[in-house]
Structure 1
Amino acid sequence: MRTLHRLWPYVKKYRAAISAGLACLVAVDVIQLIFPLLMAHAVDALKIRNLSEVHRALAWLAGLAVLIVAIRYLWRLLLLGASRKIERDLRDDFFRKLLRAPQPFLDGSRSGDLLSLSTNDIAVVRQFLGFGLMSLGDAVVLISFSIFLMFTLSVPLTLLVAVPLPLITLAMLKLGIRLHDAHEETQNQFGDLSARLQEDLYGVRVIRAYGQEQNRQAAFTGAADAYRRKIMYVTRLQGLFYPLLKVLAGAATVLVLWFGGLEVIRGRLTLGQFVAFTEYVAMLSWPLMALGWIINLVQRARASMGRLNRVFEVSDAAGGREDLEPAPAFRTLEVRDLTQDVGFGAAHGDSSEPFRFDGVRLVLRRGEWVGLAGRTACGKSSLVSRVLRIYEPPAGAIFLDGVDVTRIDPRALRERISYVPQEGFLFSQSLLSNFKLGSRNIPEESVAQIADIVQMKDEIDRFPDRLKSRVGERGITLSGGQRQRVAVGRALLKDADFYIFDDPFSCVDLDTEERVFERMKTLLAGRGVLMITHRVQTLARMDRIVFIDAGRTVETGTHAELLARRGMYARFVEAQELKERLEAAV
């Protein structure tokens, strides 16, 4: 049960409601336990034709039934309401932890698996805390008190009925372990199914372009069938629970009817006591069956919470340090001989060789525009991700005004740096919301001015709702160039010390880029700008260029200086110019 220990703070938060709900639950059970005794009294009174006692017992039964309805409504409201609130808090904390999880963990996790965790697994935990704890409390009270009252009525008959109980416990424990493992595999398979569906929906245009509909359909059908097989296996295991419990409970009922009837005939048990005993045996059927369901639910909750704990634990391990410094205004960003093993694919290339930073040097001061260039997969984007601490850099490699970035709070650090990634991601919201993502308090007039700077004003004016027009999932209703310019505008709205643009105009024509660039030069006067680009025209406008190759700085200087050296940068420029001439010829 250690897997479930993380739930205690959530339970503790709503302990008043849970305690009140459990108290109401016990009250209902105690009232229910009185019912067989009242029925016994009524039967014995009826046998001697004492109708007044029969009417009095019936009146008590009716009044207690009304009371049970009222109290049962109350405990359901309290217990199930608390479980829903815990579900909400747990889901909020899960998303918060997910946002702060280390990037390598997110890179290695499929979105479908994480989606399954935030829906299915948290729902299972909520069910355990709601109906599970409710049923457990119900079972404990009813079983213990029913057996006690049965002993008061007939010790031999109670011992006889108790024979099937160890068999029920043994069967539940045997199947419980198998159910835990089966449920874990089922949830993993559901995550795989969700991941496939999400990936295919996002890539549907590529699937159609390459005529892969049938292949993807076959792969999805295979995953869906694998999930069906696993869920059917769980269903078969669960199917063994209730019939087995029914058989054992039915055996207890047969024993009561046979031997209890003989006790009545022999005069050792009154007819009323026999009726009461039979009612207690029937009353035991639900909690005994509930125990099987509870064990099943506990196994499922342990499996689900174990999966959730992996996200919580990895986020806790990457939690903020207490010795981190705030991030005031900075004037200098410096990379000093960055050396770090990055691993496979971390340079955003297709090479199967592991990538390594091996002496990257770069200085960016406020008021400067520095270009960062290099061949594909040489480490440009990976370098920026370490400046922003999206991936953790080694200590003693990256500094802001002489302060190691590993000693600066990451969120405070990112407040001082505005960043445009390569993909120009947009959310399924309005254009206005996407522009204001990092600057919520900016008035709409300022957004309109920025839209004009990034050459989007005329295009936005043609949209039906202008800035309030929705852009669809991932900005699907916009072109690639429009998405990039919205991303640039979003960065420009942020008041920062440094602005980092990662190939922000790759889908924008040269004329539009030039107009945007000139307006940006005016707007960002006095700020430090790092521009990653392959375009020679853009690099030529930079105050200084840093050229990196294979994870190390190989040349630094102005565009003219680097061309004069006839080194790697000059060959890079020749290749880019040849590529542009060929594209223009086509």
Structure 2
Amino acid sequence: MKHLKAVNKYFWKYRFRLGIGILFIIISNYFGVLAPQVTGFVIDYVQRSLNLPGYQPSGNRPSYDILVQAFIAKVEQSQYSVSGVVALSGITILILALLRGLFMFLMRQTIIVMSRHIEYDQKNEVFAHYQKLDTSFFKSHSVGDLMSRMAEDVSRVRMFTGPAIMYVVNLISLISLSLFFMFRRDVELTLYVLAPLPVLAATIYLVNTIIHRKSEELQATLASLTTNAQQSYSGIRVIKSFAQETAQLRFFEQNSETYKRRATELAKVEALYFPSMTLFIGLSTLLTIMIGGLYYINGQHNIGIDTIVEFVIYINLLTFPVSAIGWTASMVQRASASQKRLNEFLDTKPAIQNNQSNKKVALHGPIEFRDVNFIYPHTNIHALKNFNLEIKPGERIAIIGRTGSGKSTLAQLLLRMYDVTSGEIILNGVNIKDIELQSLRQQISYVPQDGFLFSDTIENNIAFGAVQEDKTKVEQAAALAVVDRDIAGFPEKYKTVVGERGVTLSGGQKQRVSIARALMKEAPVLILDDALSAVDARTEKAILSQLDQYLHNKTSLFITHRIFNLINFHKIIVLENGRIAEQGTHAELLAKEGIYTEMYAHQMQENNEE
């Protein structure tokens, strides 16, 4: 139960619903335990009134509940015949059953509905926490695992906060009320009836231990299975192009077989519960009839047939709650295993987060990299080494280099997806670590290498991140990104829904929609990370000519492995193995006849060949 302490805050939040629900359970069970007493009275009354042979009065009426005693007093004062008393008692038992059913309905309406509210809150909490976690976390955890914890694990916890809580309270209240009246009726007979319970408790403890371990294994297997399916769906085009459907199916079947085997093992262990419960209930009933019958025959303890009948009915009342112990315990164990998995994430503190001293800073000043070193945490790749660079407000900077030279790392550090290993980044005179994260990222428009589009309309994808959604501005941004003509050719125009990750669009169209999204944001800093790699040369020229005017008074970084002639960059930085190999204007770098000149000559040769 230690893992499930995390949900106590939700119980406190919905304490009114929980309290009312518990009250309804107690009232429902209270009406339930009155029926055996009324039944016992009827049997005793009939025996006494008809003066049946061998009748022995039990003499234990004061053990009845006060309401039953009032009913008995009223019946005995009346002039009803024996059949009339039986009929009246039958109607009373029916009314008690209806009242019990009514409060059972009300308890489900409070506790089960409460569990749905908790499920809603917990899913929101998990999703909100996911969004706070840093980039390195998502690189070390699969999407399938994250989805499994948020969907499957939260649902299993809901089974604890709803049905399990309801059945546990129902079990405790019904057993307590039943035992209270059973002890008042006959202490010795009650002890005989309860004799099998210690063995039952030991069985439950033993089986629960096994269930908890197997539940954890099952949930981990399910996460692996979900990850496998998610990756297959996302990479379906690659799978088909390499004709690997059979291999992927075989891999999925192996994971499914493991899941089936572990689920079957868990089901076999859980299957021990119900036969055990039935056995113990049967033993209690047998002991009641046998020992109660012997007492009746020998005239001991003033036990009559009515007492034996009452005890048998009490045991039958306890049949479902006691048999539900196994089911409830299984739900609690599974919920505990699931909450443990959730706690692993919820207890994870993001490496990148705001401090109390963080403040909002307008990014209208210079951007400075001072002796920046950065090593990726999971690969230990030294991406930047003693990197120094100052970017003045409004400057257009090109970051050029071969693959793996550290270009994209600069964008990740400016967005503070990672923190520098050593050195510092200064924005407008303030260390980037002292700037509020949301304020920082709202002032930077970023186009990543792999432009991600949501499964939504093109209009909403372009307007994503904008302060206000303006259709005119959406169209203007699309025109600047030279994607407006493509959109005009779609049947639904800007209302066209793109598939997951923009799968219905070509690579060039996805990149241009991503550029339009960044331009729509109108942030003072623009970062394009190899954002034109999937467009043809003609479209590239059109976009660059549009951007040349748009970038006026904006600080911009073009991270690329190509050289752009249509934009007059204030400074071109050539990276090599995480260090600045060359820097200067286009003309200055050509005059040096170094790496830049070699790259430029190679690019010109490729263009001529095309």
TM range (shorter): over 0.9
Aligned to 2:116: 84
Aligned mate of 1:192, from 221, 224, 228: 224
Amino acid at match of 2:303: L
Per the TM alignment, residue 578 of structure 1 is displaced from its structure 2 partner at its CA by: 4.2
TM-score for the superposition, normalised by structure 1: 0.95
Aligned mate of 2:330, from 296, 300, 313: 296
Deviations 1:25-71 (A, max 9, x none): 11101111111111111221222253343233222212222222221
Distance 2:538 2:381 in 1: 39
- 1:7-22 to structure 2, matched below 5 A, reads 7-22=7-22
Per the TM alignment, residue 421 of structure 1 is displaced from its structure 2 partner at its CA by: 0.5
Asked whether the 8 Å contact 1:364–1:529 carries over to 2, the reply is no
Aligned mate of 2:359, from 325, 350, 362: 325
Distance 1:165 1:538 in 2: 86
Aligned mate of 2:444, from 417, 442, 453: 417
Amino acid at match of 1:417: I
- 1:355-394 to structure 2, matched below 5 A, reads 355-394=382-421
Task: Indicate the SS of the match to 1:526.
Answer: coil
Task: Indicate the SS of the match to 1:35.
Answer: helix
Aligned mate of 2:144, from 109, 112, 124: 112
Distance 2:551 2:564 in 1: 19
Distance 1:257 1:139 in 2: 24
Aligned mate of 1:305, from 339, 345, 352: 339
- 1:53-452 to structure 2, matched below 5 A, reads 53-267=85-299, 268-315=302-349, 319-343=353-377, 345=379, 354-394=381-421, 396-439=423-466, 441-452=468-479
Relative to structure 1, the CA distance from residue 127 to residue 334 in structure 2 (aligned partners, 3 Å threshold; closer, same or farther) is: same
Asked whether the 8 Å contact 1:124–1:304 carries over to 2, the reply is yes
Asked whether the 8 Å contact 1:534–1:576 carries over to 2, the reply is no
In the alignment, structure 1 segments of 5+ residues that lack a partner are 346-352
Relative to structure 1, the CA distance from residue 316 to residue 16 in structure 2 (aligned partners, 3 Å threshold; closer, same or farther) is: farther
Deviations 1:406-442 (A, max 9, x none): 1111111001111011111100000000000011513
Deviations 1:132-172 (A, max 9, x none): 11011011111122122222222222111222101111111
Deviations 1:472-512 (A, max 9, x none): 11111111000000000000011211000001110111111
Asked whether the 8 Å contact 1:153–1:277 carries over to 2, the reply is no
Asked whether the 8 Å contact 1:370–1:546 carries over to 2, the reply is yes
Deviations 1:561-582 (A, max 9, x none): 1222222322333344445555
Distance 1:255 1:42 in 2: 23
Relative to structure 1, the CA distance from residue 468 to residue 566 in structure 2 (aligned partners, 3 Å threshold; closer, same or farther) is: same
Task: Indicate the SS of the match to 1:359.
Answer: strand
Aligned to 2:77: none
Relative to structure 1, the CA distance from residue 539 to residue 172 in structure 2 (aligned partners, 3 Å threshold; closer, same or farther) is: farther
Distance 1:228 1:360 in 2: 53
Aligned to 2:37: 37
Asked whether the 8 Å contact 2:239–2:245 carries over to 1, the reply is yes
Per the TM alignment, residue 274 of structure 1 is displaced from its structure 2 partner at its CA by: 1.0
Task: Indicate the SS of the match to 2:200.
Answer: helix
Distance 2:145 2:329 in 1: 25
Aligned to 2:593: 566
Asked whether the 8 Å contact 1:331–1:497 carries over to 2, the reply is no
Distance 1:458 1:131 in 2: 56
Say which is worse superposed, 402-411 or 260-269, in terms of deviation.
260-269
Distance 1:539 1:572 in 2: 17
Asked whether the 8 Å contact 1:190–1:227 carries over to 2, the reply is yes
Distance 1:542 1:328 in 2: 24
Relative to structure 1, the CA distance from residue 383 to residue 329 in structure 2 (aligned partners, 3 Å threshold; closer, same or farther) is: closer
Distance 2:223 2:573 in 1: 43
- 1:390-539 to structure 2, matched below 5 A, reads 390-394=417-421, 396-439=423-466, 441-538=468-565
Residues paired across the two proteins, number:
576
Say which is worse superposed, 558-567 or 488-497, in terms of deviation.
558-567
Aligned to 2:584: 557
Amino acid at match of 1:159: L
Deviations 1:217-242 (A, max 9, x none): 11111011011011111111111111
Asked whether the 8 Å contact 1:396–1:404 carries over to 2, the reply is no
Asked whether the 8 Å contact 1:539–1:559 carries over to 2, the reply is no
Distance 2:148 2:557 in 1: 39
Aligned to 1:350: none
In the alignment, structure 2 segments of 5+ residues that lack a partner are 51-81
Larger radius of gyration between Structure 1 and Structure 2: 2
Asked whether the 8 Å contact 1:540–1:559 carries over to 2, the reply is no
Say which is worse superposed, 219-228 or 573-582, in terms of deviation.
573-582
Per the TM alignment, residue 542 of structure 1 is displaced from its structure 2 partner at its CA by: 1.9
Asked whether the 8 Å contact 2:399–2:574 carries over to 1, the reply is yes
Distance 1:577 1:218 in 2: 48
TM-score for the superposition, normalised by structure 2: 0.91
Per the TM alignment, residue 356 of structure 1 is displaced from its structure 2 partner at its CA by: 4.0
Deviations 1:51-101 (A, max 9, x none): 343233222212222222221111110111110001001001111111111
Amino acid at match of 1:191: A
Asked whether the 8 Å contact 1:325–1:408 carries over to 2, the reply is yes
Aligned mate of 2:570, from 532, 535, 543: 543
Task: Indicate the SS of the match to 2:581.
Answer: strand
Distance 2:482 2:430 in 1: 38
Distance 2:479 2:472 in 1: 11
Per the TM alignment, residue 318 of structure 1 is displaced from its structure 2 partner at its CA by: 5.3
Amino acid at match of 1:468: K
Task: Indicate the SS of the match to 1:536.
Answer: coil
